Amino acid sequence: MQCPKCHAPMHTYNRNGVQIEQCSGCRGIFLDYGELEALTRLEAQWAQVPPPAPQAYPAPPAPAWGAPHGGHHGHYGHRHKSFTHMLFSS
């Protein structure tokens, strides 16, 4: 197939299941019937993907001997009785 604009040969690519023809000369793209709608649909699906969760606030600095992952090791998910005792004693 030749480009209707510059007459250079066109190559076929598959993008997410949609066949598109792109000109090797002017880089113009030729879409068959229904392909524009298919691409629009794919774009809408992409936009609906929830954005990645915001990065958690960086943990404050911790010493080299601290618990793994800079001190947020996670004994505190549930308040451990033993830890509560430790909070209240020397």
Partner 1 sequence: MTADTLLPLLTARAHGAAHRTADGCTCTTAVLADRPDATVVRHAGTVVKAHAPGTDPAALALRLGMAARLPGVLLPPLAPEPAVLGGRLVTVWPYGTPVDPDAPGAAPWEAAATLLARLHRTPLPPKLPPMRGPANAARAVARLRAEAPAHPAARPVLRAWATLPGWARAAEPLPGPRALCHGDLHLGQLVRHPAPDGPWRLIDVDDLGAGPPVWDMARPASWYACGLLPPQEWSRFLAAYRAAGGPAVPADGDPWPALDPVARALTVQSAARAVAKAAAAGRRLDEVEQAVVDACDRMGRLSAPPARPVGCNRPEPDSSLSGRGHKPIRPARS
Q: How far is the CB of 51 from partner 1 (least distance, A)?
A: 24
Nearer to partner 1, 44 or 64 (CB): 64
Q: How far is the CB of 63 from partner 1 (least distance, A)?
A: 5
Nearer to partner 1, 41 or 75 (CB): 75
How many CB atoms are closer than 10 A to CB 3? 19
Given a contact cutoff of 8 angstroms between Cβ atoms, the answer to whether 11 and 1 are in contact is: no
H/E stretch holding 13:
strand 10-15
Q: How far is the CB of 50 from partner 1 (least distance, A)?
A: 25
Residues that bind partner 1 (CB under 8 A): 59-68, 70-76, 79-80, 82-84, 86-90
Nearer to partner 1, 46 or 65 (CB): 65
DSSP codes, 10-51: EEEEEETTEEEEEETTT--EE--TTHHHHHHHHHHHHHHSPP
